[in-house]
Amino acid sequence: MKKRLFLTVLCVVLVVAAGVRVYQVNTADYCKYFPVRKFYERGEQVPLNKEHYYFTRYDWSGYTVEVTDARIEETATFLAEHQADEGFLEQNGYTQNVHHAYDYLCIVTAVFRYNGTDSLEKDPIDMIEFKLLGLDYTMDCAYELNRLPGFNPNMQGNSRFVITSGKPFTVELPFFISTGFETGMSVDYFQKSRPQLLVTYYPEESCISVFPEGVA
């Protein structure tokens, strides 16, 4: 009887101790340094600000970005339309094999605006910093496609730009949907996963839906 009572008390003590520890972790000072994830809908103008991005910290204060459209294209058709040389993907590090199959592209149309004073005092916007997110995937921007004739002609083959005219600047952000064995991704799954364009990282993770609400 005494042994059973001792074990019961011990279990209660352990449960209470575990609860106290969880509370301490969740209320610790370092938790306030975690990024806060905020979601935006397509069509909203999202501020970029002076924040941390994927590779480094930029001062993009005064800039906003708005997702206006997104579409899925077959890579082969896209490359043919833009007169890509044979082997273009492999030359730019996109090797087709059983693990990675770059058969489809998601192209996100984004409009950037600048309403500050002197944009030349700010860091250039860099396409490399933007990612496409889902619950179980992250896609890098395939900025190399800017080298193709007729794709983002206002970028002139670069990945960075600065707005000096005060007018909106439209850019198409391409992302490969890898349907290879390694990811098991399908276009249908990708569409239903409600992908988000990640545009800031810290202190706020700003995510913009690329497809309208209810579209799958």
Q: Summarize pLDDT for 119-156 with one digit per residue, the tens.
A: 778 889 999 999 999 988 999 999 999 999 999 999 99
* Helix or strand holding residue 37 (H, E): strand 36-40
Euclidean distance between CA atoms 216 and 199, whole angstroms: 22
Examine the domain organization and report whether 28 and 47 are in the same domain: no
50 falls within a domain = yes
Euclidean distance between CA atoms 190 and 41, whole angstroms: 18
Give the pLDDT score at 179: 82
pTM over 0.85: no
215 falls within a domain = no
Examine the domain organization and report whether 106 and 193 are in the same domain: yes
Confidence of residue 16 (pLDDT cuts 50, 70, 90): very low
Show the domain range for 27. Answer: 1-34
Examine the domain organization and report whether 105 and 23 are in the same domain: no
Candidates 150, 147, 142, 137; CA nearest to 186 is 137
Euclidean distance between CA atoms 66 and 128, whole angstroms: 17
32 or 210, greater pLDDT: 210
53 or 131, greater pLDDT: 131
Contact 152, 125 (CB under 8 A): no
The torsion of the CA quartet 104, 106, 107, 109, rounded to 10 degrees, works out to: 170
Examine the domain organization and report whether 8 and 67 are in the same domain: no
Please state the domain count of the chain: 2
214 falls within a domain = no
Four-residue CA torsion sign, 147, 153, 175, 197? positive
pLDDT tens, residue by residue, 58-108: 888 899 999 999 999 999 999 999 999 999 999 999 988 877 889 999 999
The answer on pLDDT for 206 being more than 60 is yes
Examine the domain organization and report whether 159 and 173 are in the same domain: yes
24 falls within a domain = yes
List the Cα angle 211/189/198 in 5-degree steps. Answer: 45
